[in-house]
Structure 1
Amino acid sequence: MAERPEMTMAESLSFNQKPSESRLSIPTPARIPLAGMVGFGIGATLGLAHGGRTAQLRFRAEHAHKMPTTTTGWYLYHKSKNYHAMQGGLREGLRMGSRLSFWTLMAFGLESTVDRYRGKTDLLSTVLASLTVAGGFSLWNRFSLPTAARTARYGLLFGLVYGGMQDAVGFARGRPIGYVDFVRRRLGSSRTTKLDQPQEG
């Protein structure tokens, strides 16, 4: 009995994966880091806006009892406020960007792992990965049961929408979709059975 040849590093990491067989036509080793960078960019943008506004409000509250009365005082006040807003925005942007990047990498990495374990690339892997990451996010933040359930619903919705979009794009590009192939096989076998049945009369 011939032994199976060992997979090379490139094969195990899917470097040799055809674009038509990859999700979004991007090989896995490129797609996962790209998703992490996109997640960091979105998180950093949201954090920058939220952190800057929060820092501005905090600065105004802390200095409400000693407002300036001169033109120079107002200039220095606004200069200091803008500095605090920029500092707070950068800090929150880095924090939120890093967090969103981490959870995005977890979701995409788990999706790829489920794909390889199942041997199929379709919506089911995306849904499983999204629900798992939503559960991990809820546990990490110690959410209450209603909040965790709402987070799971969001994870399910994201998995269905994003996975469905990937499958639609992949199907249009000729990538095999697990459940589509299953339905085709079922329909094909039922048609064959009907044709094989002898017709009466």
Structure 2
Amino acid sequence: MATTQIDSSPPSLPDNFESLQPDAQTTLNKPSPDRLGMPFDRRLLLATFTSFTCGTTLGYLSTSRLAALRFRAENAHRLPISQPGWYLYHKSKNYYKLKHGITAGLRSGFYLAAWASIFFIVEESIDVFRGTWRAGRSLTEMEGVSELDMKKVDTGVQRSRDFLSSTVAGMVTGGVWSAWNKFPVVTAARTIRLGLVAGLGYGLAQDALTWARGKAGVANDEESWIYRGAKNRRKVEDPVEEVKLKE
């Protein structure tokens, strides 16, 4: 009866395996050019989730407190006179608070998440527009993005991720907010100015974080958790290291 032999030799490596290692190391150590070190979709998802959580929490706390005061005012003329009555009174008040607080909290969360998404979308759109402008797009020759050199477009977008786009995004969001609520001219101007200051502060904070990451060498520091995590992951994916771990 024929027996099947199992090949226990380690897997073969490509001929250019050694030449690929420096490129992989360079890619690993290269810091991310995106804002906050995250791509746009992840940054938008994180901002939406954070703003939704904050809006829901603040809306629930504020509305539930007002609902409790309203319940107390509406039932001030028929306060209970016994211990079971007070128990039912507070139980009914808690249900009243939950009913109005959860509804208003979810509404505030969705509302705040929508406006935060508008800010981040406008910010990314301005980055892309400035990047295509740096790549050769002009008013006289409105070329499509597909007609431009994609390397120049990527480089231009990376160079355009600064506080200027955040400031303009804050102004645009303040203007849209004023138009949505139909503010008068004086109130709209004050709201746009507030959006400008908030966008400028947020943009400078992002630039400071990017400068600090590059100055501290986060992507090149062997003691950082980013480098150690990627290094350990590469060891597991490396065929030679995987065979050594099995032995």
Task: Classify the TM-score, shorter chain.
Answer: 0.7 to 0.9
Q: Does structure 1 residue 106 correspond to structure 2 residue 118?
A: yes
Q: Does structure 1 residue 151 correspond to structure 2 residue 163?
A: no
Query: Which residue number corresponds to residue 87 of structure 1?
Result: 99
TM-score (norm 1): 0.74
**One of 15, 27, 36 as aligned partner of 1:24:** 36
Whether contact under 8 Å (1:50, 1:92) holds in the other structure is no
Query: Which residue number corresponds to residue 46 of structure 1?
Result: 58
Query: Which residue number corresponds to residue 125 of structure 1?
Result: 165
Query: Which residue number corresponds to residue 71 of structure 1?
Result: 83
Sort the Cα spacing of 1:145 and 1:70 in 2 relative to 1 into closer, same or farther, 3 A.
Answer: farther
Whether contact under 8 Å (1:32, 1:108) holds in the other structure is yes
Instruction: Count residues with an aligned counterpart.
Output: 158
Sort the Cα spacing of 1:19 and 1:31 in 2 relative to 1 into closer, same or farther, 3 A.
Answer: farther
The letter for the 1-side match of 2:39 is P
Counterparts of 1:173 and 1:157, CA distance in 2: 24
Counterparts of 1:21 and 1:58, CA distance in 2: 52
Whether contact under 8 Å (1:45, 1:93) holds in the other structure is yes
Indicate the percent of aligned positions where both proteins have the same amino acid: 47
The letter for the 2-side match of 1:116 is V
Sort the Cα spacing of 1:104 and 1:19 in 2 relative to 1 into closer, same or farther, 3 A.
Answer: farther
Residue 152 (structure 1) shift: 1.8
5+ residue gaps, structure 2, are: 1-29, 132-159, 216-247
Counterparts of 1:145 and 1:71, CA distance in 2: 57
5+ residue gaps, structure 1, are: 1-17, 176-201
Q: Does structure 1 residue 136 correspond to structure 2 residue 148?
A: no
Residue 174 (structure 1) shift: 4.3
Counterparts of 1:150 and 1:64, CA distance in 2: 42
Residue 157 (structure 1) shift: 1.5
Q: How does 1:6-25 map to 2 (within 5 A)?
A: 20-25=32-37
Whether contact under 8 Å (1:55, 1:88) holds in the other structure is yes
Counterparts of 1:19 and 1:141, CA distance in 2: 41
**One of 24, 30, 35 as aligned partner of 2:47:** 35
**One of 51, 54, 60 as aligned partner of 2:72:** 60
> What per-residue deviation string (whole Å, max 9, x for no partner) do you get for residues 104-153 of structure 1?
00000110010000011111111111111111111112223333233222
Counterparts of 2:31 and 2:92, CA distance in 1: 52
**One of 155, 160, 163 as aligned partner of 2:200:** 160
Counterparts of 1:53 and 1:97, CA distance in 2: 17
What is the RMSD computed on CA atoms of the aligned residues? 1.7
Counterparts of 1:30 and 1:95, CA distance in 2: 23
> What per-residue deviation string (whole Å, max 9, x for no partner) do you get for residues 143-193 of structure 1?
233332332222112111110010111233349xxxxxxxxxxxxxxxxxx
Residue 33 (structure 1) shift: 1.3
Bigger radius of gyration: 2
> What per-residue deviation string (whole Å, max 9, x for no partner) do you get for residues 34-67 of structure 1?
1111110110110010111111111112112221
TM-score (norm 2): 0.61
The letter for the 2-side match of 1:74 is W
**Greater Cα shift, 37-46 or 62-71:** 62-71
> What per-residue deviation string (whole Å, max 9, x for no partner) do you get for residues 3-40 of structure 1?
xxxxxxxxxxxxxxx85210010111111111111110
